[in-house]
């Protein structure tokens, strides 16, 4: 387990270095500024020692020499401060540029992920990776750039200056150093796995919160508040436990390294005093040595803290990189063509598909649709109606067989041109934050206002839009309470009306609309799609009686097909569905 954790951390670090490459110039500048800042800071104890040696005793103080030393110290401090400021600028530029690039790549990759991944992962958990994990990653990365370079250079520089003063006393410091390195290594091994677990639970909790808040009305309607609170408390307790363990080991770092620091300082003080008594070094040099001993040990404190934060950052980075490296949807072939002048001839030939290998769904489905036909798809819940639509749009790829449009296999055409050939209205509405006009023109951004109003009239949305506070310029969003579910559905239908695609898919598109309006919209669609192919998924069979072909599905198979009159005469499965539906509507 430890080896795997170490390997995963190293792999994540290598990926991080790939994001750092474009900003190597800022890295070099940061290192240069760090060297200047640390070098001048480490020069100060030398000046302090010289000043001490300049104060020999009462009446024997070299005031002129001490003043010159103080001026040099002021200049060193000023230059070191400016260098540190430039170093922080470079570090901020690197950190937040890398964070921007990671978030950009993650969001872009989500656009190319297959729907099966998005269906299998809660949206809140994905959001947690892109927001919370990247923020944690940024904090650790910034601390790493800001303190790690400085700390390492400080340690090396301090050793160099101490060797210049007296190698023997420096040996005391070098001998105790491995103890600090051991503490840092111990903390690094322990904290990575714990911070990784903490990040995972945080993502799960974020997903649960997002799910519950988004469906709070349903939770309250079914009196699930107490159960929801209990489950949240369980997740919260798991997060508390994992966070406590991670913080505990990281908090051990400071007292442990301080203990080592005290050992170093005491060792230098004792050995240095003995050497000074024997005339090996001056009192001023001993003062410099004690200053260096103090400065030498501080970076180990910082490195231990940085290592802890870096482990947290790498754990979060591993989650976001896992999302970025998730296998994308099957890429389009290099010679994929664009569908143009689509007539609407659709063929489904020996198609089989299942979401999971162990659960079969569509089996050897065959269908030939001529241009301009209206195809209704009916059947009990879970029979594969929506799945068939997903395959037509190529949201999922078939396991076996093929689907052709105008004689071309849809695997040989670009997804964008295929989907642009369909106008799709789903049972679940989706509106983005923006004006009514922006929502309707989503599929045709260059549409004129007159075209939008005409589309809204055809979909019977114009009348209620006029009653909104700012009409077509009213700002709405997905969870807007100012619109009813039926009004949201009308806006989605207007969106399709505006695009006028060659083929249409209605997946329970009028389920949230009253019967009278539904009949008017069906007539509007009929007018819009004259000579075009349309697929209609419906539970209310009374709405699809005029369809040219009705497909009756059950357990993933088309068991009956024909027009309404033909299927009623057969007195088969469709007949019983229709009769039971008529009794329920009555």
Q: Report the SS3 class of residue 476.
A: strand
Q: Report the SS3 class of residue 301.
A: helix
Distance CA 67, CA 245 (A): 53
The string of DSSP letters for 407-448 reads TEEGGGB-HHHHHHTEEEE-SS----SEEHHHHHGGG-TT--
- Between helices 485-499 and 449-458, what is the axis angle to 10°? 120
Q: Are 184 and 307 in contact (CB under 8 A)?
A: yes
Q: Are 552 and 558 in contact (CB under 8 A)?
A: yes
Q: Are 553 and 528 in contact (CB under 8 A)?
A: no
Share in percent of the chain as helix, strand, coil (round to 5) = 70, 10, 20
Give the tens place of pLDDT for each residue, 456-506.
888 888 888 999 889 999 888 766 667 877 788 888 888 888 888 888 888
Q: Are 42 and 161 in contact (CB under 8 A)?
A: yes
Distance CA 371, CA 121 (A): 38
Q: Are 343 and 332 in contact (CB under 8 A)?
A: no
Q: Where are the domains of the chain?
A: 2-324, 335-421+507-512+535-586
Determine the pLDDT at residue 431.
Answer: 82
Q: Are 562 and 548 in contact (CB under 8 A)?
A: no
Distance CA 344, CA 385 (A): 19
Which CATH number applies to 2-324: 3.20.20.70, 1.20.1560.10, 3.40.710.10, 3.50.50.60?
1.20.1560.10
Determine the pLDDT at residue 403.
Answer: 92
**pLDDT by 10s per residue, the chain, length 586:** 444 445 556 777 788 888 888 888 888 898 888 888 888 888 888 887 778 777 765 567 677 888 888 888 899 899 989 998 998 888 888 888 888 888 888 888 888 888 778 777 777 778 878 887 888 777 777 777 777 778 888 888 888 888 887 787 777 777 776 776 676 667 666 676 777 788 778 878 887 887 777 677 667 766 677 888 888 888 888 888 888 887 777 777 667 767 777 777 777 778 878 887 877 777 777 777 777 777 776 776 677 667 767 777 887 888 888 888 888 877 777 888 888 888 888 998 998 888 887 777 888 888 898 888 888 888 887 788 888 888 888 888 888 999 999 888 888 888 888 888 888 887 777 788 888 998 889 888 888 999 999 988 888 888 889 998 899 998 887 666 678 777 888 888 888 888 888 888 888 766 666 777 666 667 666 766 677 788 888 776 766 777 888 888 888 788 888 888 888 888 888 888 877 765 444 4
Determine the pLDDT at residue 2.
Answer: 43
The tokens 């750039």 sit on which residue? 145
Determine the pLDDT at residue 123.
Answer: 76
The predicted model scores a pTM of: 0.65
The tokens 């993933």 sit on which residue? 556
Determine the pLDDT at residue 79.
Answer: 93
Buried b (16+ CB within 10 A) or exposed e, 39-68: bbbbbbbbbbbbbbbbeeeeeeeeeeeeee
Distance CA 273, CA 279 (A): 10
Environment class of residue 273 by beta-carbon count within 10 Å: exposed (0-12), middle (13-18) or buried (19+)?
middle
- Domain 335-421+507-512+535-586: which topology? Rossmann fold (3.40.50)
Determine the pLDDT at residue 4.
Answer: 43
């Amino acid at each position: 387990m430890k080896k795997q954790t170490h390997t995963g951390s190293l792999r994540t670090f290598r990926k991080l270095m790939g994001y750092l490459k474009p900003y190597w110039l800022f890295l070099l500048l940061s290192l240069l500024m760090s060297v200047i800042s640390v070098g001048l800071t480490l020069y100060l104890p030398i000046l302090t020692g010289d000043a001490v040696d300049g104060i020999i005793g009462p009446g024997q103080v070299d005031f002129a020499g001490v003043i010159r030393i103080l001026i040099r110290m002021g200049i060193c401090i000023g230059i070191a401060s400016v260098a540190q400021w430039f170093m922080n600028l470079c570090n901020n530029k690197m950190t937040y540029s890398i964070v921007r690039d990671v978030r950009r790549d993650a969001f872009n990759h989500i656009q190319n992920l297959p729907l099966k991944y998005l269906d299998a992962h809660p949206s809140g958990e994905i959001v947690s990776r892109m927001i919370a994990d990247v923020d944690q990653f940024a904090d650790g990365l910034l601390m790493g750039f800001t303190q790690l370079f400085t700390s390492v250079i400080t340690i090396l520089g301090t050793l160099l200056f101490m060797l210049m003063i007296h190698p023997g006393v420096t040996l005391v410091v070098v001998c105790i150093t491995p103890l600090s390195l051991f503490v840092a290594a111990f903390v690094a091994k322990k904290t990575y796995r714990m911070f990784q677990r903490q990040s995972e639970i945080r993502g799960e909790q974020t997903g649960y919160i997002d799910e519950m808040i988004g469906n709070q009305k349903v939770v309250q309607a079914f009196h699930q508040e107490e159960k929801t609170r209990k489950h949240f408390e369980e997740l919260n307790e798991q997060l508390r436990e994992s966070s406590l363990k991670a913080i505990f080991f990281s908090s051990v770092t400071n007292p442990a390294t301080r203990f080592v620091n005290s050992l170093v300082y005491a060792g230098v003080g004792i050995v240095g005093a003995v050497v000074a008594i024997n005339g090996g070094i001056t009192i001023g040099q001993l003062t410099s040595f004690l200053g260096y001993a103090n400065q030498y040990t501080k970076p180990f404190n910082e490195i231990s803290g940085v290592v802890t934060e870096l482990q947290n950052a790498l754990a979060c980075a591993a989650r976001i990189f896992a999302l970025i490296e998730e296998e994308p949807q099957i890429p389009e072939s290099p010679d994929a063509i664009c569908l143009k002048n689509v007539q609407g001839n659709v063929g489904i030939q020996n198609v089989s598909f299942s979401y999971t290998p162990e659960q079969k769904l569509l089996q050897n489905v065959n269908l030939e649709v001529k241009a301009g036909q209206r195809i209704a798809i009916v059947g009990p819940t879970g029979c594969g109606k929506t799945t068939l639509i997903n395959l037509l749009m190529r949201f999922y790829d078939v396991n076996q067989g093929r689907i052709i449009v105008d004689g071309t296999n849809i695997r040989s055409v670009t997804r964008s041109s295929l989907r642009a050939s369909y106008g799709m209205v789903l049972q679940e509405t989706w509106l983005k934050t923006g004006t009514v006009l922006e929502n309707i023109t989503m599929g045709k951004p260059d549409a004129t206002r007159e075209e939008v109003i005409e589309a809204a009239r055809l979909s019977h949305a114009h009348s209620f839009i006029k009653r909104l506070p700012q009409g077509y310029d009213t700002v709405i969003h997905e969870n807007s309470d100012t619109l009813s579910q039926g009004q949201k559905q009308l806006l989605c239908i207007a969106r399709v009306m505006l695009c006028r695609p060659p083929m249409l898919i209605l997946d329970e598109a009028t389920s949230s609309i009253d019967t009278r309006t539904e009949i008017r919209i069906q007539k509007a669609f009929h007018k819009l799609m004259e000579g075009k192919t349309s697929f209609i998924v419906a539970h209310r069979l009374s709405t699809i009686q005029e369809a040219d072909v009705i497909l009756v599905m059950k357990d993933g198979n088309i068991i009956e097909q024909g027009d309404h009159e033909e299927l009623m005469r057969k007195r088969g499965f469709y007949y019983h569905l229709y009769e039971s539906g008529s009794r329920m509507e009555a």
